[in-house]
A and B are shown apart, each in its own frame.
Chain A
Amino acid sequence: MVHGCHDNTKLYGASYFVLLGSRRPEIDKAVIMSDLLKDKSQRREKRAGKLPSEGSHGVRGKETTGKTKDSISTVSYIDELAHHDDNPRMAVTMENTYQMDILKDVLTSYLQEEEYEGEWSQKMTKTISEVIRARVKDLMIPRYKIVVLVHIGQLTGQSMQISSRCLWDAANDTFASYSFKNSSLFGVATVYAVYFE
Chain B
Amino acid sequence: MDEYQAEEETAFVVEEVSKIIKESVEAAIGGNAYQHSRVNQWSTSVVEQCLSQLSKLGKPFKYIVTCIITQKNGAGLQTASTCFWDNSSDGSCAVRWENKSMYCIVNVFGLAL
Write the residues of chain A forming the contact surface with B, with a CB cutoff of 8 angstroms: 1, 3-6, 52, 54, 56, 58, 60-61, 64, 116, 118, 121-122, 124-126, 128-130, 132-133, 136-137, 145-169, 173, 190, 192, 194, 196-197
B84 to chain A, nearest CB (A): 4
B55 in contact (CB, < 8 A): yes
* Number of residues from B at the complex interface, CB < 8 A: 47
Q: Is the CB of B47 within 8 A of A145?
A: no
Q: Is the CB of B75 within 8 A of A156?
A: yes
B34 to chain A, nearest CB (A): 7
B61 to chain A, nearest CB (A): 8
Query: In chain B between 64 and 87, which residues have their CB closer than 8 angstroms to a CB of chain A?
Result: 64-86
With A5-B1, A124-B78 known as contacts, the answer to whether A156 contacts B73 (CB < 8 A) is yes
Q: Which among A4, A5, A61, A132 has the highest number of chain B CB atoms within 10 Å?
A: A4
Residues of B within 8 A of A64 (CB): 36
A160 to B66, CA, bound (A): 13
B111 to chain A, nearest CB (A): 5
Q: Is the CB of A4 within 8 A of B70?
A: no
B40 in contact (CB, < 8 A): yes
Q: Is the CB of B84 within 8 A of A150?
A: no
A48 to B90, CA, bound (A): 27
Residues of B within 8 A of A136 (CB): 84
B69 to chain A, nearest CB (A): 5
Residues of B within 8 A of A60 (CB): 36
B62 in contact (CB, < 8 A): yes
Residues of B within 8 A of A61 (CB): 71
With A145-B84, A150-B80, A167-B55 known as contacts, the answer to whether A5 contacts B70 (CB < 8 A) is no
Q: Which among B44, B55, B68, B85 has the highest number of chain A CB atoms within 10 Å?
A: B68
- Picked from A129, A130, A161, the residue with its CB within 8 Å of the CB of B68 is A161
Q: Which among B73, B75, B86 has the highest number of chain A CB atoms within 10 Å?
A: B75
- Picked from A116, A125, A153, A163, the residue with its CB within 8 Å of the CB of B66 is A163
Q: Is the CB of A147 within 8 A of B109?
A: yes
With A133-B82, A155-B75 known as contacts, the answer to whether A162 contacts B1 (CB < 8 A) is no
